[in-house]
Structure 1
Amino acid sequence: MHSPKFGSITNKHMIIDFRSDTVTRPTPAMLEAMMKATVGDDVFGEDPAVNELEQTAATLFGKEAALFCPSGTMTNQIAIKCHTQPGDEVICDADAHIYQYEGGGIAANSGASVKLLPGDRGRINALQVEQAIQPDDVHRPRTSLVCVENTSNRGGGSCYDFEELKKIKQVCDNNGLPFHIDGARLFNALVAKNETPRPYGELFDSISICLSKSLGCPVGSLLLGDARFIKKAKRVRKLFGGGMRQVGYLAAAGIYALQHHIERLSEDHEHAKMIGAALQTQTYVERVMPVETNIVIFETKETSAKDLVALLKDQSILAYAIAPTKVRLVLHLDITKEMVTRTIQILENLKSA
């Protein structure tokens, strides 16, 4: 493969980090809220900030309860363990985070297998789910859970159509299956689709939402469900070593994010579309996946993703190679309009060698 080269670009001192929306740091206002938090021992259920965060999130989605956890991987893995028994099978897209990026946790934590479906940019449909459900046969694993991811990370931040989710829910109900959503970036989908949280609360048996991605918190995710489910989930969290003590300092960041960082996600989406449009016309780009939210994924031509990422790093732009010819850029609250403009300038000055 040929490697592109840069034209003459100056001002290399400014680091622009597109590797993930997990790289954000608390804003001054968020830090202030964290410092002022009233805390207690959360394992005893005595941390006021955690209790407020959990109740705020549960109310937002119309669920009975929520559970604050260190990571989105933990909230997903807790949900899967609560919904399954060893030997069961989980239905999800082949690119789902629960399968691709959670360390084999479905097998290790729950003893379950996975039925992988070839979706459309990370999105599966009701017919696929219906056809994937195992028959009642002792030779087969027992289908016990359906999981979707919204937005889809490897799908380039793609969003589900809510009507399709309703159809999948109907298949789940017809077959007695719980329905879980990995909503690590669910707020991005809600903003992009001009939707509200409560219908999602009504549709899903369990919901995982991440605070440390687009919402800009330093740590934390929430698992939502009915009271009985969350009681079970709290026991599993303890089993996984996820019980935390005076964690209200982090919960306060989550409260602040839910109050102040949701509407601004549209800025990230607009910035992502600007970069996606710039990439469309570059000779070293084979294809840009449709940009719906804050993720831009493009396929390289005549160079490897690894080489392109290395060249971008030389220009103080950090990106992520997610496949041999695929590069991912993720927009977030630490990326300014100036950074977007500079990034586009650099991308447009790349020339094929």
Structure 2
Amino acid sequence: MIIDLRSDTVTKPTKAMLEAMMQAKVGDDVFREDETVNQLEQRVANMFGKSTALFFPSGTMANQTAIKLHTQPGEQVICDKYAHIYNYESGGAALNSGVSCKLVDGTRGMFTAEQVKEAINPTDYWYAKTTMVEVENTTNKGGGACWDFEELKKIKKVCANNNLGFHLDGARLWNALVAKQETTQQYGALFDTISVCLSKGLGCPVGSVLVGDEQIMKNALRIRKVFGGNMRQIGYLAAAGLYALDNHVEKLAEDHNKAKEIGAVLSKLSIIKKVEPIETNIVIFELNNDVDENNFVKKLAQKNIHIISMGSHKLRIVTHLDYTNDMHEKVLQALKNV
């Protein structure tokens, strides 16, 4: 039994999801004739109270499209120093949109409205024009942390007062909604654009959706084409998304509970320096300075338990749909004995 806890992207479609995919009614999406993807896009748009949604092959492409919708070359985006759009999208903001990022020194990937105010550039012509604020919920490098919704509302006011676009990288938003008992409608009312992932957490093989109102989204389809993201009979993938929305969202609570139980075991080990607070399905912990992190990872791998190193003695464990109760018991026991 191989237990892969490197990421929640390692899941494979369930048998029921595969059956739903095989029964999908499909067409040519370039002609906008795939009825299943049209159904998915309409459903996600309605969930967030937006008029328009567009299916993407990846969350990175959805985020990159959002940046391009909100900005012009030479402008600047405010985001956290841990932000996925800055750290893990291959410099796409600079390459695709010609924008720079003003990095905010937040806490676990989250910042305040006051920090946004301070990060907005003066209007003098020798500064890059600030035109967009981006937040990530949950925060990946922040250990699956969930934003305080009241702070997000304060940031929205700053954006409104300064004519700034407001984008949410909601790659793991489903986790935040379950953990904080918040709603898609709440987020849709707050953000101009939102990208949500159907693969992380929900167990689909591929796919993200970008939502927004008609005005901001009017060029999204063209930009997706420019990025090479037009697809044909993608209803098979959209069907997986529809199935996941019906059957997998509530199961995220199980992933969160397992992550917290792993954290509880780790916190009792003498070789562990610190376990970051656990709110959702990501566990980030730090080994003592005298412990070899590569050796730690290797010892678990010898027991067919695979986790990921983040460098600087930090390691990450991510629970997910394919992580069963039997696997969980084996992991807890292995960690106790490591």
TM-score by length of 2: 0.98
Q: Distance in 2 between matches of 1:106 and 1:300?
A: 34
Contact 1:26 1:217 in 2 (8 A): yes
Out of 148, 164, 176, the residue aligned to residue 151 of structure 2 is 164
Equivalence for 2:138: 151
Contact 1:58 1:66 in 2 (8 A): yes
Alignment-mate amino acid for residue 287 of structure 1 = K
Tell me the secondary structure at the aligned position of residue 218 of structure 2: helix
Out of 326, 335, 338, the residue aligned to residue 338 of structure 1 is 326
Could you tell me how far 1:310 is from its partner in structure 2?
1.9
Out of 9, 16, 19, the residue aligned to residue 6 of structure 2 is 19
Equivalence for 2:294: 306
Equivalence for 1:280: 267
Out of 226, 236, 242, the residue aligned to residue 239 of structure 1 is 226
Equivalence for 2:34: 47
Q: Distance in 2 between matches of 1:304 and 1:221?
A: 37
Out of 31, 38, 55, the residue aligned to residue 68 of structure 1 is 55
Could you tell me how far 1:303 is from its partner in structure 2?
2.0
The reply to whether residue 260 of structure 1 matches residue 247 of structure 2 is yes
Equivalence for 1:6: none
The reply to whether residue 80 of structure 1 matches residue 100 of structure 2 is no
Equivalence for 1:320: 308
Tell me the secondary structure at the aligned position of residue 194 of structure 2: strand
Q: Distance in 2 between matches of 1:225 and 1:269?
A: 29
Out of 10, 17, 23, the residue aligned to residue 30 of structure 1 is 17
Runs (5+) with no aligned partner, structure 1: 1-13
Could you tell me how far 1:298 is from its partner in structure 2?
0.2
Equivalence for 2:335: 347
Q: Distance in 1 between matches of 2:73 and 2:298?
A: 43
Could you tell me how far 1:64 is from its partner in structure 2?
0.6
Q: Distance in 2 between matches of 1:222 and 1:323?
A: 31
Could you tell me how far 1:46 is from its partner in structure 2?
0.3
Could you tell me how far 1:314 is from its partner in structure 2?
1.4
Tell me the secondary structure at the aligned position of residue 299 of structure 1: strand
Q: Distance in 2 between matches of 1:34 and 1:137?
A: 54
Q: Distance in 2 between matches of 1:265 and 1:108?
A: 35
Runs (5+) with no aligned partner, structure 2: none
Contact 2:69 2:217 in 1 (8 A): no
Q: Distance in 1 between matches of 2:219 and 2:294?
A: 43
Tell me the secondary structure at the aligned position of residue 316 of structure 2: strand
Could you tell me how far 1:279 is from its partner in structure 2?
0.3
The reply to whether residue 105 of structure 1 matches residue 118 of structure 2 is no
Alignment-mate amino acid for residue 125 of structure 1 = T
Alignment-mate amino acid for residue 66 of structure 1 = A
Identity of aligned residues (%): 60
Instruction: Flag the 1:307–1:137 CA change in 2: closer, same or farther, 3 A.
Output: farther
Residue-by-residue CA offset, 1:158-204 (whole Å, 9 max, x unaligned): 00010000000000000000100000000100000011110100000
Contact 1:151 1:186 in 2 (8 A): yes
Equivalence for 2:107: 120
Contact 1:306 1:324 in 2 (8 A): no
Q: Distance in 2 between matches of 1:311 and 1:83?
A: 47
Equivalence for 1:11: none
Contact 2:26 2:36 in 1 (8 A): yes
Could you tell me how far 1:268 is from its partner in structure 2?
0.3
Tell me the secondary structure at the aligned position of residue 13 of structure 2: coil
Residue-by-residue CA offset, 1:183-239 (whole Å, 9 max, x unaligned): 000010000001111010000000000001101000000000012322211110000
Could you tell me how far 1:139 is from its partner in structure 2?
1.3
Tell me the secondary structure at the aligned position of residue 23 of structure 1: coil
Cα RMSD of the aligned pairs, angstroms, is 0.8
Alignment-mate amino acid for residue 319 of structure 1 = I
Instruction: Flag the 1:122–1:304 CA change in 2: closer, same or farther, 3 A.
Output: farther
Q: Distance in 1 between matches of 2:329 and 2:263?
A: 12
The reply to whether residue 131 of structure 1 matches residue 118 of structure 2 is yes
Tell me the secondary structure at the aligned position of residue 346 of structure 1: helix
